[in-house]
Amino acid sequence: MNDFNSIVFWKNCNQEKKQNILLRPAISVSKKISKKVADIIETVKKYGDDALIKFNSKFDNFHEKNLRINPKKISYSKNFLNKSIKDALLVAMENIKKFHMAQKISPISIEIKPGIICEQFFRPIESVGIYIPNGSAPLFSTVLMLAIPAKIAGCKKILLCSPPPIGNEILYACEMCGIKDIFQIGGAHSIAALAFGTKSVYKVEKIFGPGNIWVTEAKKQVNYQFDGPAIDFFAGPSELLIIADSNARPDFIAADLLSQAEHGETSQVLLLTPSFSLASSVLKEIKKQIIFLPRSLIAKKALKNSLLIITSSLQECINISNQYGPEHLSIQTSCPRDLLKEVKNAGSVFLGKWSPESAGDYASGTNHVLPTYGQTATHSSIGLLDFQKRITVQELTKKGLHKLSSTIECLALAEKLEAHKNAITLRLS
């Protein structure tokens, strides 16, 4: 659709049209961009800090040679922020910390059978890299979302990269979280530095954080290399799907849709409702509210990717939502919890008219780094476990091994792995 004036009736669409309606905006990485990203990665691997300084100058018009932020600058950042923003960050930090602390999983130790004990425990990933976007919308809230679980998990080395110049809000959020290794580098070259290391930047084992097409492509390429790091997932563009009934507030819904549309031109927002009257009212509210948004031009372009869909029932809304698998799912109905049990695929769910998506973006406590583009079918929001690894243990007594020996020997022989069998037979002979 060319604008947000169209209302689609789901029952009037054939299967092909329904599939096309639920397609995300095409985010294609051209061969040209892939090649440039590959060249950037190889240049950083070869020339290290010199390459990073060169790319900072080329891409961000930033000419300082010191890549690492001076600790004094981090400490001084609080002097440039007013009390209200510092207080707000503190509240957000406390809520996010409380929710992620609750995600700790106790070790498991179970005697499977007499003489056979199996255990499971968790250890932190030793070193992690955090990428924080810093363009038209510097996402200092993402510092909290990534640094807090990394700290709780016990990661010993936490590096943060963000395009220069890094604002005081980001620096202060880092100080609150105890992040000291902050590097003023962005884009694909920062991902390369985190992935393979330079004289200044420590090589990490896993990279987290959203970014533009260059950052995402770099994360993909370093992850595919044999000696490259793990990554969280490919995040973006932002998505919001709202399910609403005739009792929902049109002004609330319009505000929520616009809150995601302003993220970027390729964002996508959807409203699913059985009420034509509600959809019409939401459309009027969007046109009224968008006028006053500083990022209205961005939001208008995002709305070209977006839809108002009239369904036959709330159950059909849920079915469509599960097929789409939104990053954010808002359920604004009279009894939202009745629909929650039907949700299969979603990054984060917001129940009721008093739970705007903005709450999760900043301060309710849940994490706002979420899978997009249908990845919710297999991926979850960032949480404590993403910064940890699971280790299992088994301990057998002589009696326990003896009771299990015939089973192991039988299976080993069936797989034609004689040495496996011999490791049992030798002990019992």
pLDDT band at 18 (very low <50, low <70, confident <90, very high): very high
Which residue type occupies 213?
Answer: I
Residue where the block lists tokens 């979280």: 177
Q: Provide the pLDDT for residue 4.
A: 60
Domains and CATH numbers, the chain: 31-231 (3.40.50.1980), 236-377 (3.40.50.1980), 397-428 (1.20.5.1300)
Q: Which residues lie below 8 Å from residue 175, measured CB to CB, with a gap of 6+?
A: 74, 75, 77, 78
Q: Is 285 annotated as a binding residue?
A: no
**281 is known to lie in a ligand binding site:** no
Angle at 229 between CA 228 and CA 231, to 5 degrees: 130
Q: Which of 2-16, 200-214, 327-341 has the lowest mean pLDDT?
A: 2-16
Average pLDDT, integer, range 209-237: 93
> Can you give the pLDDT at residue 1?
38
64 in active site: no
Q: What is the pLDDT of residue 29?
A: 74
d(CA 134, CA 296) in angstroms, rounded, equals 20
Q: Is 361 annotated as a binding residue?
A: yes
User: pLDDT tens, 182-193?
Assistant: 999 999 999 999
SS3 category, 243: strand
Helices H / strands E in the chain, number of each: 17, 14
Beta pairing, strands 328-332 & 348-351: parallel
Average of pLDDT values for 65-94? 97
Q: Which residues contact 42 (CB under 8 A, 6 or more apart)?
A: none
pLDDT the model gives residue 337: 97
Active-site annotation holds for 379: no
pLDDT exceeding 70 applies to what percent of the chain?
Answer: 99
Residue 415 is assigned to a ligand binding site: yes
| β-pair type (116-124, 108-113) | antiparallel
| Parallel/antiparallel/unpaired status of strands 157-161 and 181-183 | parallel
**303, 283 contact by CB (below 8 A):** no
Confidence of residue 247 (pLDDT cuts 50, 70, 90): very high
CA-wise closest residue to 304 among 321, 290, 316:
290
DSSP 105: -
Determine contact, residues 207/128, Cβ cutoff 8 Å.
yes
Q: What is the pLDDT averaged over residues 17-40?
A: 89
Residue 16: its pLDDT value, please? 95
According to the 3-state scheme, what is the secondary structure of 1-51? CCCCCCEEEHHHCCHHHHHHHCCCCCCCCCHHHHHHHHHHHHHHHHHCHHH
Given the residues 175, 327, 357, 368, select the one marked as catalytic: 327
100, 189, 328, 379: the active-site residue? 328
On the question of pLDDT at 2 being above 50, the answer is: no
DSSP character at residue 310: E
Q: How confident is the model at residue 3 (pLDDT cuts 50, 70, 90)?
A: low
Contact between residue 362 and residue 273 where contact means Cβ atoms under 8 Å apart = no
Angle value at C-alpha 231, between 127 and 166, nearest 5 degrees? 70
420 belongs to an annotated ligand binding site = yes
Q: Is the pLDDT of residue 117 over 60?
A: yes
Calculate the average pLDDT of the chain: 95
Tokens 């583009």 identify what position? 373
Q: Is 238 annotated as a binding residue?
A: yes
Asked which of 22-31, 266-275, 316-325 is least confident by mean pLDDT, the reply is 22-31
Query: What's the whole-number mean pLDDT along residues 62-79?
Result: 96
